[in-house]
Chain A
Amino acid sequence: MFDGPIRDHAGWTPRATAIVTPGGTFTYAQVNADVDRCAAALAELELRPGQVVSVALAAPYIQLVATAALARLGVASSPAGDWGADARLSDAHLSDGHVPPGGSPEGSSVHRIDEAWLRAMYAREPRPWPSRAYAPLDLGRVMLSSGTTGRPRRVGYTWRRIEHGNHLSLRSYGGGRLGAWIPLVSIDAMMGLTMAMCGWAVGAAVTASFEADDLPRWLERLESGIVAMTPIQLRRVLDALPPGFRPTPRWRLMVGGAVLPPETAREARARITPDIRTLYGSTEGGAGGQGLASGLDDAPGQVGITPSGAIVTIVGEDGRPVPEGQSGEVRIRGPRVIQGYLGDPEADAERFRDGWYLTGDIGHRLPDGRLVLEGRRDDRMNLGGLKIMPAVLEAAALSCPGVRDCAAFAVPTPDGLDACWLAVVAEPGFDGGRLTRHLAGHGDLPAPRYAWTRDIPRNAMGKVDRNALREAVLAATRPPAAGKAPDV
């Protein structure tokens, strides 16, 4: 499906830019011809509709072209991680690197996409591959859900679901926007895939492999459009702004993947552009919220309203909707929600119920309809009966001058109860007693134990890795076993 708009705009605006990588610029006519070439070459590898083919190509241009070419063949694509020693899931695998240990598992095949293959492919005559009619309920794309623990789960999107999501993006943050669409994550992540498909849908220039550190100069150089990134990447962009950088208010920044801290949002609105929006969604449930970063000033953690087309309710532990304003788990239903994971009935039973997807996010709704996220259900600390979300403690700690970053987490104690810990990144010379006094002034917060650290471990999407913090504390506090040297 998403290769179709590339062909459309190759017809309407053939000389407009379709792809920008740090190394080059490619027009719609060029990209469309390369997608045709690649589709013809891939068809000779016996890749056919009904299959899922993972794309593990590091060079950004060929990664995009191969993914679009699979769509042109009617073949579903999936990220690099959908194949390998631990996850032999896709039917075939396009790889520019070595074959993973264990070789090619039975019933699937690895295709080396090396320089010779690419040279031969680019040398082909670009014969227009015929437009095909898609069965709307066939699989078009597989994504891997960013499980914070354990192995990723496979999420299958039908062609109709891809169209639906694309329409939503166009009518929410993408409406009326052209210019450059810059995802700071790859198409293997939801935000990157969405941005690429939507940028092409409207004939914009989609970038690939752009780094947060380089963004300031791209903001000045490219025609203004949209940048999508995680909060942690926005922090890096702010740190990379050269002295005297003049704000670029015609750009729109979309921040998703984790809750945007209000301070970061304020700084970015002043130093980059006032047009900053927050995205809240999941691979399984699609967009659950979209809001304005300015709304974080009065409601930290707010992720905006739920764009029309999906229904979101907040439910208690008994699965029943809670009264307006109370905290509970966020659940979502509607055409953007997938019906289950591929080949994982156990996980389905846990997360999908009666047409609802249980997001695992804890939050509440403001009277004006905006959602406020408090954290992950799995993150909720149970301190001997006192239940508290880490975000509550973190927000209080962050309001203490001198605290740069922090993360709260629970660690089991020898008596079986969980203790509350706070990992803190503070300014040099910070007096720890100041934070203790600051938190004591916040009423009924638990008094945490402190782990002073240089940075907070986060995953690629910017989510705090609380397991790593817990393990680090346990390792540091565990008494050395008799006769053995302590772990290094």
Chain B
Amino acid sequence: MNAVAIGFFVLTILVTLGVTVWAARRSRGRADYYAAGGRLTGAQNGLAIAGDFMSATTFLGITGMYFMSGVDPSAIYYLAPLVGLPLMLLWVAGPLRRAGKFTLGDVMASRLRSPGLRVFAGASAIVISTIYLVGQLIGAGGLIQILFGIGFAPAVILVGVLMTIYVAVGGMIAASWVQIIKSVLLVSTIVLLSAAVLVQAGGFGPLYARAVAAHPLGEGLFMPGGGKMDLFSSVSLAFGMSVGILGLPHLLIRFFTVPDERAARRSAVVATSIIGFVFALMFLVLGPGAIAFVYGQPRFDGPDGLLRGGANMASIHLADALGGNVLMGIAAAVAFATILAVVAGLVMAIASAASHDLYAVLSRRKDKSEHEELLVFRLAAGVMAVVAVALAFAFQHENVAFMSALAFAVAASANFPVLVLILYWPRLTTAGALTGGLVGLISSVALIVIGPAVWVKLLHHAAPIFPSDYPGLLTAPLALIAAILVSLARPAPRMVEAAAE
């Protein structure tokens, strides 16, 4: 086992726990626990949003995808945030900050004062974040197993315990600062690795020539068309990945941590800039670098002749090839910090939805205090951590990429259409919003179930009923149309008056 990696691993845990204790001392009430008191600057929140998006799947998975098949289809994963975040800046960031306080339920309640809609907002936030969280935990268990030699079960339990402590003790202040620290570490590490690749290869030209010589695809590495997907699937995957960002609760609630709309917009710009810079380095330097320095090198292959630990380990092996144990230890520890920060953000979204949206509506007592709601928040963080760890054990052999695709598809189909209509369309009714959300949720899950990934690969049927794994291009417009039609067919009395005015 790599002593440097273990040293950084322990240091990461100590620093993040220290941040949590510091955050707990600064947290007083709901505003601090749910939204960091609204005191983060645009730059700080931008770093946190970038950190939320750049999960271990991004750092290790996309470079691994490039390592296997070149620019395509990894280009879609690289470019999705460059579409989604500017759209978030244009359409959502400012109005969301203006309308909301702590959760998406607040935003929906600001327009349509319906307990049912708040329950839907809370439930969809919990469902989407839990699916995403379970996928991250399964990936985390596997990665920690490979990086540090710890078994899957203890690795997942360790991550589960740490994420509960961050959120239950330090709330959004801790979750945000852990994310900010991780973002700075991740960006620094990727810059360091990229510089090492370019120096050792002798520049871009020699790097690309070396990659072309090492990979069986040759110059095809850099050309589009290798995705092997039909046109609908590639466009639908891109659409779902892009607008799914606008429906992910753990990203959206970050806009409540800044003081005003201007800072919310700045957050989106800073996040897009950081992600664009990091992804460009991964796309233009690290991906080709992994091929040039790792592909076909016997010392990185396992007994089966394939890359040790799978393609996801290409970045870690690249660090080893460039800087030996020290650089590899740093890269492994940063991957671990990345995992911790992302799961903490997801638990934050789940716990705040459970206590501020669900408990607030479903509990019939009217004299609920702020202290009681925060107690439910902490309990929800602990309970959901246990549930997520249990689900990670149950689904540990499932495809992690499928679970992420499911979370993005549900976010794009159930949350995104309702959120946009709530922010921009005055004639939306409660019935319309609920219908749209439910149509998006049910249709996206149903089409994924009868698609190739589940219907054929998991359930072993001969052919899929729906030909694609990526239904977002169909289901998001379907939800939007359903919400509009129901709102027009059954306008609420107040809406009729407002429209007449």
Partners in one complex: no
Interface residues of A (CB under 8 A from B): none
Interface residues of B (CB under 8 A from A): none
